[in-house]
Structure 1
Amino acid sequence: MALVELRGVTKRFRKGDETITPLDQVDLDIVAGEFVSLMGPSGTGKSTLLNLVSGIDRPDSGTITVAGTEVTKLSRSKLADWRAANLGYIFQTHNLIPVLTAYENVELPTLLLKLTASERRQRVELALEAVGLSDRADHYPRQLSGGQEQRVGIARAIVAHPQVVVADEPTGSLDAETSEQVQTLLQRLNKELNITLLMVTHDSDVAAIATRQLVLDHGKFLERDGTSPTRKAEGGKMIKQFG
């Protein structure tokens, strides 16, 4: 069974008198431990896909299952609890809270989980260590470089040990050198910690770091070789978690 499974998913939007269908009866499987990148022209629904997988938005038809839970059937309140425990989100512009330290920003998702104070502390310390920022735990966002801010955002995305992490243009606001550092970090988290990643990017070089590359074309997903992305799942649940 795939970790992320889309079946017959359609999403439509109204734009004036026009109906736009960025996702049209699409199927997609993502296996635990994969790093999948998604490319396509602006406005074709790449970010829409991330919002659907994370339960922020709902499809007009079809089903989305993540780690055995059919996300499309959850109520809004249950979705919030499910998302806190199972989904990590990496934003393009960090979205850190400026009055909180790096440690406190990373800790935020753990406050929604039933963890003891010592368990929360251990997870935050491990997440900061994983992104190489243990020595910046007490720094505020204004005291960090853009790359360090993004690494704090990545630590925040993985601190709850989510089943899957989605990343929306994670290098889009970074300079070339810092972008390469973040790319290397994402690859390491995937390979060494077996974190499942679904990343949207406009940059073909960034897309190439993933283990599988998809293109969204006229409402359908294609592998970079032009084949369908639905395939047999290999393996099952995430084998290991950091910490």
Structure 2
Amino acid sequence: MALVELHNVSKSFRKGDETITPLDQVTLEIEAGEFLSLMGPSGTGKSTLLNLVSGIDRPDSGKIIVAGTDITQLSRSKLADWRAANLGYIFQTHNLIPVLTAYENVELPTLLLKLSSRERQERVNLALEAVGLSDRANHYPRQLSGGQEQRIGIARAIVAHPKVVVADEPTGSLDVETSEQIQVLLKRLNEELDITLLMVTHDRDVAQIATRQLLLDRGKLVPSGESELENVR
């Protein structure tokens, strides 16, 4: 059984007098341990799909099942509990809290779980070690480079041992060299820690680090070969 399943999922929005349908009867399966990248130009619904898988938004129709749970049937409060235990989110702009240290930023998701202080400490230290920033634990975001901030954001996404991690343009705000370092890190985390990753990007080169690439085109998911990705910028 797939870890993530979307069955005939549709989502529409009103924009003035126009109805926009970024997702139209989308069906998708993601296996445990898979690294899937989702390509497409801006405004094609990539982030909408991430928000649906994350339970941040609800589909107009269809089912979304993650780790055996139909999240479309959960109440808002149960969705919050489900996200805390099952989902990690990597943002484009890091979204670190400036008054907290790197350690405290990474620790935040564990505060929502029923863990002892020792268990929280072990998880935070392991997450910081996984992204290579154990020596920056007591630094504040202002004392970190952009790449280090993103690494802390990644550590925060994996610290609760989520079933799936979603990444929304995780290299979009970084320079080329730092972007390449984050790509290597994401690939390593997927391969060595068996983390299931769903990544949205508009960058063809970034998309190709994943084990599978899909293109979102006019509300539908299309398997993407290299020749198709060449045309997406």
Q: TM-score scaled to structure 1, two decimals? A: 0.92
**Aligned-partner residue type, residue 71 of structure 1:** I
Which residue in 2 is equivalent to 1:183?
A: 183
Cα distance between partner residues in 2 of 1:107 and 1:119? 11
Which residue in 1 is equivalent to 2:18?
A: 18
Q: What pairs with 1:94-133 in structure 2 (closer than 5 Å)?
A: 94-133=94-133
Which residue in 2 is equivalent to 1:166?
A: 166
Per-residue CA deviation, residues 201-231 of structure 1 (Å, 9 max, x unaligned), is: 01000000000000001100011149xxxxx
Aligned to 1:58, what secondary structure does the other structure show? coil
Aligned to 1:92, what secondary structure does the other structure show? coil
Which residue in 2 is equivalent to 1:85?
A: 85
Structure 1 residue 52 displacement after superposition:
0.1
Percent of residue pairs bearing the same amino acid type: 83
Cα distance between partner residues in 2 of 1:26 and 1:111? 35
Cα distance between partner residues in 2 of 1:36 and 1:189? 13
Aligned pair count? Answer: 226
Q: What pairs with 1:182-201 in structure 2 (closer than 5 Å)?
A: 182-201=182-201
Structure 1 residue 42 displacement after superposition:
1.1
Aligned to 1:122, what secondary structure does the other structure show? helix
- Which runs of 5 or more structure 2 residues have no equivalent in the other structure? 227-233
Which residue in 2 is equivalent to 1:236?
A: none
Q: Does residue 203 of the first structure (1) align with residue 203 of the second (2)?
A: yes
Per-residue CA deviation, residues 140-170 of structure 1 (Å, 9 max, x unaligned), is: 0000000000000000000000000000000
Which residue in 2 is equivalent to 1:149?
A: 149
Aligned to 2:105, what secondary structure does the other structure show? helix
Aligned to 1:172, what secondary structure does the other structure show? coil
Cα distance between partner residues in 2 of 1:145 and 1:26? 38
Extract structure 1 runs of 4+ deviating beyond 3 A: none
Aligned to 2:65, what secondary structure does the other structure show? strand
Aligned to 1:5, what secondary structure does the other structure show? strand
Which residue in 1 is equivalent to 2:40?
A: 40
Aligned to 1:198, what secondary structure does the other structure show? strand
Aligned to 1:173, what secondary structure does the other structure show? coil
**Aligned-partner residue type, residue 93 of structure 1:** T
Cα distance between partner residues in 1 of 2:41 and 2:192? 31
Cα distance between partner residues in 2 of 1:145 and 1:115? 31
Cα distance between partner residues in 1 of 2:67 and 2:200? 20
- Which runs of 5 or more structure 1 residues have no equivalent in the other structure? 227-243
Q: TM-score scaled to structure 2, two decimals? A: 0.96
Which residue in 2 is equivalent to 1:241?
A: none
Structure 1 residue 80 displacement after superposition:
0.2
Structure 1 residue 91 displacement after superposition:
0.2
Per-residue CA deviation, residues 61-97 of structure 1 (Å, 9 max, x unaligned), is: 0000000000100000000000000000000000000
Aligned to 2:81, what secondary structure does the other structure show? helix
